[in-house]
Amino acid sequence: MKDLKKITLKNGLRVLFVPRPEDLAATALILVEAGSEYETKKINGVSHFLEHLMFKGTASRPKPGMIAHELASLGAQSNAFTDHEYTGYWAKVRAEKLPDILEIVSDLYLNPLFERAEIEKERGVIIQEINMYEDDLPAKAQQLLDALVYGDQPAGWDVGGEKKVIRRLGRDDFVGYRAARYVAQGTVVVVAGKFNEKAALAQIKEYFGSLPRRRVIAKKRTVERQSAPRVKVHFKKTDQAHLAIAFRAFDMFDPRRYALRVLADILGGGMSSRLFMRVREEMGAAYYVGAGADLALDHGTLGISAGVDHLKIDAVIGAVLEECRRLSAGPVPEKELQKSKDHMLGNLVLGLETSDDMASFYGGQEIFGREILSPEAYADRIKGVTAEQVLAVARAVLRDKGLNIAIVGPYRTEKRFTKEATLK
C-alpha cells in the first residue's frame, strides 16, 4: 500500500506511518492491547481508570494540568479512550508541531507517576462518569444488552467498571496492570498526515526503543451459550423507551463480515434503510433507529437500537423482527443492495478525511493483528458482496437461538415481552 509503511522495532513495538503530504495537520496515536476484556472481576474498570490517570502527571511533567496546558498551547486536539479490547491516546496538531505532540503523547504513555492524591481525585471523576452513563438511557440499554448477551464474564462487563470496584482500586492495581499490559509487543504507534518520516522514526526509537521485549498476555476466550431468546427489562420512569436488540454473530476475522456489514446497512444503516422507513417514517414510533455489526476478537453481534414511544414498543418490536424475517426470506433486490453499498462507501470516504481518521483506520486493524486493508481494498470487499451472501448470513445470524432484547423504560417485568421475542 503506497499510503502505509509498517516498521517493527527490535523489542516488538509496531510503528505505522500513513503519509499524506497534502494535509495541513498530523496525528500521533498510541494503541495498546488493554481493555475491559483483559480484566478480572476484582479489577473491572482498571483499564479505563488507568487511561484517566496517564494524563495526571509524568516524571518530566509532574503537576496535574501540565500535559493539557502544553497541548492547548500547541493548538492541538487530543483525547484518549478505552474500549473492551484496547486503549488509545492521541493528539492532532498542525503539521510542523508533530514532534512536540509525539513527545508529549509518548511521555504520558511511558512515564506516568500515579500520585496517590491524584488517584483519589480521579476516583470521584470516574464515579461521576459512571453516573452520567447511568442517566444516558441509550447507553444504559446497550450496557444491559451486553450483560444479557455475555453474562458475568469480561465481554458482559461495563468498560467503566462498577462503583464498588472503582472505590477500592489502589495504586498497586494500576502499576501492576500497566506492567502486564503496556508492553512493546502489545503496542502500536501510528503517525498520520504530513510529517518527516525519518525524524518521526528517530523519535519513536528514542522514546520506545528501551521498552523490554515481553510476551503479550492473551485474554481469556469469551464463552457463548444460548439456545433460546432472552429478554431483560430495566425499570425507569421515562416518556421514551430505549430498545436494544442483538443477534449473536461471529468474530472480526470471519470471512462473512463484509456481508454482515452490508446486511446491517440494509436493515438500519441510514435514513433510507428498512428500519428507518418502517419504524420512524411509517409508524412514527421512534426518533432514532438503526443497526450495525459489532465484531470483536472472539465474538460479535448484529445490533439494533431505537428510542421508542413506550406505548408503541410492542408494535415496534414486532416490526423490527418482521423486517429481520424478511431479510431471511429471500435475496435483497439488486437496486437496494447497490444503494446500501454506495451508502457505506460514501461514509467510508467521508470518515477518512482527516489524519486522525486515517490513524484510527489503520491502527485499529493492526492492534488486533488483522490483515491490513487500504480504504480501496476495503471498498472492493464491500463492492464484492452479493445478494446471495447477504441472504446466507441473514439466515445464519437472524435466528431465535441468538436473539437478545434489552429494554430501559417504564416496565416492571419481562413477561409482557417474552411472547414477542421470536422470529417464528
Encode 359-381: b = buried (16+ Cβ within 10 Å), e = exposed.
bbbbbbbbbbeeebbebeebbee
- The C-alpha atoms of residue 30 and residue 9 are separated, in whole angstroms, by 15
Would you state the pLDDT for residue 1?
61
Q: SS3 breakdown of the chain: % helix, strand, coil, rounded to 5?
A: 50, 20, 35
The string of pLDDT tens digits covering residues 271-296 is 999 999 999 999 999 999 999 999 99
Q: Which helix (H) or strand (E) holds 197?
A: helix 197-208
Would you state the pLDDT for residue 214?
87
Q: By the 8 A CB rule, do 10 and 209 touch?
A: yes
Q: By the 8 A CB rule, do 160 and 129 touch?
A: yes
Distances (CA, A) of 294 to 252, 387, 396: 8, 21, 16
Burial zone of 316 (CB within 10 Å; 0-12 exposed, 13-18 middle, 19+ buried): buried
The string of pLDDT tens digits covering residues 8-26 is 999 999 999 999 999 999 9
Q: By the 8 A CB rule, do 380 and 302 touch?
A: no
Q: CB-based contacts of 125: which residues, under 8 Å, 6+ apart?
A: 52
Would you state the pLDDT for residue 2?
65
Encode 175-212: b = buried (16+ Cβ within 10 Å), e = exposed.
eebbeebbbbbbbbbbbbbbbbeeebbebbeebbeebe
Strands 187-193 and 14-19: parallel
Q: Which parts of the chain register pLDDT below 50? A: none
Domains of the chain: 5-208 (3.30.830.10), 230-418 (3.30.830.10)
DSSP state of 41: G
The string of pLDDT tens digits covering residues 302-342 is 999 999 999 999 999 999 999 999 999 999 999 999 999 99
